[in-house]
Amino acid sequence: MISVTGLTKTYGSVCAVNNISFEVAKGEIFGFLGPNGAGKTSTINIMTGLSRPDAGEIELAGIDVRRQPKKAQAIMGIVPDESNLYNEMDGFDNLCFCAALYGMPKSEREGKARRLLEQFRLDDTGKRPFKAFSKGMRRRLTIAAALIHSPQLLFLDEPTTGIDVESSRQIRDLIRELKRQGTTIFLTTHYIEEAERICDRIAFIARGQIVAAGTLPELMASVSHQHAIRFVTAGSTNTPAAELESQFPGSQVSIQADHSIVMTSKQRIPLLPVMKFLHNIGVEVHEARELTPSLEDVFVKLTGIQSSALTEPERKGSTR
Amino acid sequence: MKSWIAFWNILKKDVRNYYLKPPNISWGIIFPLSWTLMQLIRSPDGNILELLPGLIAMSILFGTTSMLAVTITFERSGRSFERLLLAPIHLSTMVLAKIAGTILFGTFNAFVPVIFAALFADLRAVNWGALLLTILLIALTSALTGLLIAVSAEQVFEAQTLANFFRFPMLFLCGLFVPIARLPLLLRPLSYCLPLSYGTDLLKGLLTRQNSLSPALCFGMLLFFAATLFLICRHRIQQKWIL
Ligand SMILES: Nc1ncnc2c1ncn2[C@@H]1O[C@H](COP(=O)(O)OP(=O)(O)OP(=O)(O)O)[C@@H](O)[C@H]1O
Ligand SMILES: [Mg+2]
């Protein structure tokens, strides 16, 4: 559905997009994860025809965007990083105007606008102008406006940045629903959790380049060649690390400050024998948990960028 | 059909959101009216018909250039303008839709001094069809000049300053109140490089039969300027706004 090859764009001396290539299949949610200034918006602008690349090819549903931008724009919906509807107009008029830009006849656009306002729970905003909307409402209306002509392909530039947990969750649910209906989705985010939760495939982008791309398991596998288990024990015991290591060859054992035992190994660690061994030497185990690297660890390892450069959303939020 | 829907709705939105707003309507009436009164007070025994061409031309020039400089730069800084660039309509359709509202506004401006003059002078001999066509052509070229200014500016303030830089000299160079024939010889070629000179000459011919050029030549020149300015604007937009 999306095929990008060798995309490059420089602004003066800044190389915003540096030889980027990727493909997105029909019906997939593909996410660009990267810190501020990584080149996410620049890439979207080029793909949507708002900006001209210095080099590279972009094909959307078989249409060459550089040659036929208007034809490509007819099948895409775009949610820019800023909610940019018309301040003076209310929700309904804004949606109808956007529909008209895509040539939808009056009766069709009014029906669709009403349905979208309802779906986005904005139908109670009445005649209130866009400028009087809250941030979350503005974001929702901007997304609704991108869907007015039922595009096959949806671009979302940081759809949930700067809005609350509940609104973000609604937007993510909506993105998943669109995917179920067959829409192909390209989104950018600097929220690791968001990428993890909704994307089928993720590309890490830093300094204008794609550092790694793949499904969540693929990205994880690209760094973790080790198995690790953490055993939580009942307080202070003198756990013989050396004894454990010799009993289970190939493993490394470290004792943490809270007296839990972390065992790492290239092979899978046999849980029951370890537990039995510990039990026999008088160590009471309360909990054993496999330590998997988080996407955050993977990101840091692959890009060399501290994850604090990305902002973590809703740390205490729901875990959907 | 699809382009037509888009064109019509862009025009309708601009008229509703900008041109029909009370401050703009009152500016559109008060500005031409006060200039008309000022000219009358300055030369109380002057024939209002002789002043009319200049007043019409000036009303159009100021109405169109100031509105476009505002509406476009305003939408650009709020980024809603990106919606028009991202819509599946040709750039030409979009540009025409954007200037259509301004042309209507300029035409409305032009008729303020005409209506005022009708109270004092006999306008029965005027060929209204030709007058309307002339006014529309002047509005078209002025709107495109305004667009060219808007493309070059980033801020509303900047656009206004730039617009003044062009339109005040034009008041003197285009024969609005001082006939071109009375300008210093050096300036005259410059006058003939400005579309408004031809528009004003047409107006003079229609209202007082005091034109100095042939009407056919003037029409031709206005059309030529309109086409050239349109192509330049489209090119500049492609250069500057599709980065
Ligand atoms: N119009 C422009 N002129 C000059 N430089 C630009 C322009 N647009 C982007 N850049 C530069 O290109 C780089 C990438 O910017 P871009 O907006 O694509 O990043 P981003 O990943 O979207 O960041 P953010 O998360 O902050 O939105 C930045 O260094 C930016 O300063
Ligand atoms: Mg961005």
Domain ranges in chain A?
Answer: 2-221, 225-291
pLDDT on residue A217: 87
Name the residue facing A97 among B9, B78, B82 (closest C-beta). B9
- Range A271-279 contact pairs with CB under 8 angstroms and sequence separation of 24 or more: A271/A229, A273/A248, A274/A229, A274/A231, A274/A244, A274/A248, A275/A231, A277/A244, A277/A247, A278/A231, A278/A233, A278/A239, A278/A244
Q: How far is CA A86 from CA B76, B80, B212, in A?
A: 11, 6, 47
What's the rounded mean pLDDT across residues A49-74? 95
Chain B residues with beta carbon closer than 8 angstroms to that of A100: 5-6, 8-10
Q: How far is the CA of A37 from the centre of ligand 1 (A)?
A: 5
What residue in B sits closest to A109 (Cα-Cα)? B5
Q: In this complex, do B79 and A49 lie within 8 Å of one another by their Cβ atoms?
A: no
Which domain, by its residues, includes B159?
A: 2-242
Which of A20, A33, A42 for a ligand 1 pocket mutation test, highest count of atoms within 8 Å of Cβ? A42
Mutation site, B4, B7, B9, interface A, largest A CB count within 10 A = B9
Q: Is the pLDDT reported for residue A124 higher than 80?
A: yes
pTM of the predicted structure, to 2 decimals: 0.85
Q: Which one has a higher pLDDT value, A143 or B42? A: A143
- Sorting pLDDT into bands at 50, 70 and 90, what band is A316? very low
Q: pLDDT band at A236, cuts 50/70/90?
A: low
Mind listing the pLDDT tens digit for each residue in A132-154?
A: 999 999 999 999 999 999 999 99
| Contact with chain A for residue B10, Cβ under 8 A | yes
Q: Show residues of chain B in contact with A73, CB under 8 Å.
A: 86-88
The DSSP line for A85-132 is: --TTSBHHHHHHHHHHHTT--HHHHHHHHHHHHHHTT-TT-TT-BGGG
- Mean pLDDT of all residues belonging to chain A: 89
**Residue B42 pLDDT greater than 60, yes or no:** yes
The region of weakest confidence among A174-183, A220-229, A274-283, B213-222 is A220-229
CATH 3.30.70.100 fits domain A225-291: yes
* Confidence band, pLDDT 50/70/90 cuts, at residue A319: very low
Q: One-letter amino acid identity for A36?
A: N
Q: Which residue has the higher pLDDT, B86 or A223?
A: B86
A103/B243 touch (CB, cutoff 8 Å), yes or no: no
Three-class SS of residue B89?
Answer: coil
pLDDT band at A312 (very low <50, low <70, confident <90, very high): very low
Over residues A176-197, the pLDDT tens digits come to 999 999 999 999 998 999 999 9
* Residue B192: band (very low, low, confident or very high) from pLDDT cuts 50, 70, 90: very high
Distance CA A236, CA A283 (A): 9
pLDDT value of residue A311: 60
The percentage of chain A sitting over the pLDDT mark of 70, rounded to a whole number, equals 95
Task: Give the closest residue (by CA) to ligand 1 atom 13.
Answer: A16
Distance A32 CA to ligand 2 centre (A): 11
pLDDT digits (tens, 9 = 90+) for A19-47: 999 999 999 999 999 999 999 999 999 99
Query: Taking a C-beta distance cutoff of 8 angstroms, is the pair B29, B108 a contact?
Result: no
C-alpha to C-alpha distance for A41 and A158, rounded to whole angstroms? 9
Q: How many Å lie between the centroid of ligand 2 and the Cα of residue A306? A: 19
How far is the centre of ligand 2, averaged over its atoms, from the C-alpha of A83 (Å)?
A: 13
Query: Would you identify the CATH topology of the domain A2-221?
Result: Rossmann fold (3.40.50)
Give the model's confidence band at A237: pLDDT under 50 very low, under 70 low, under 90 confident, else very high.
low
Q: Do A101 and B242 touch (CB under 8 A)?
A: no
Under an 8 A CB cutoff, do A102 and B87 touch? yes
pLDDT, greater one: A87 or B25? A87
Q: What is the ipTM of this complex?
A: 0.88
Whole-angstrom distance, CA of residue B10 vs CA of residue B19:
13
Number of domains comprising chain B: 1
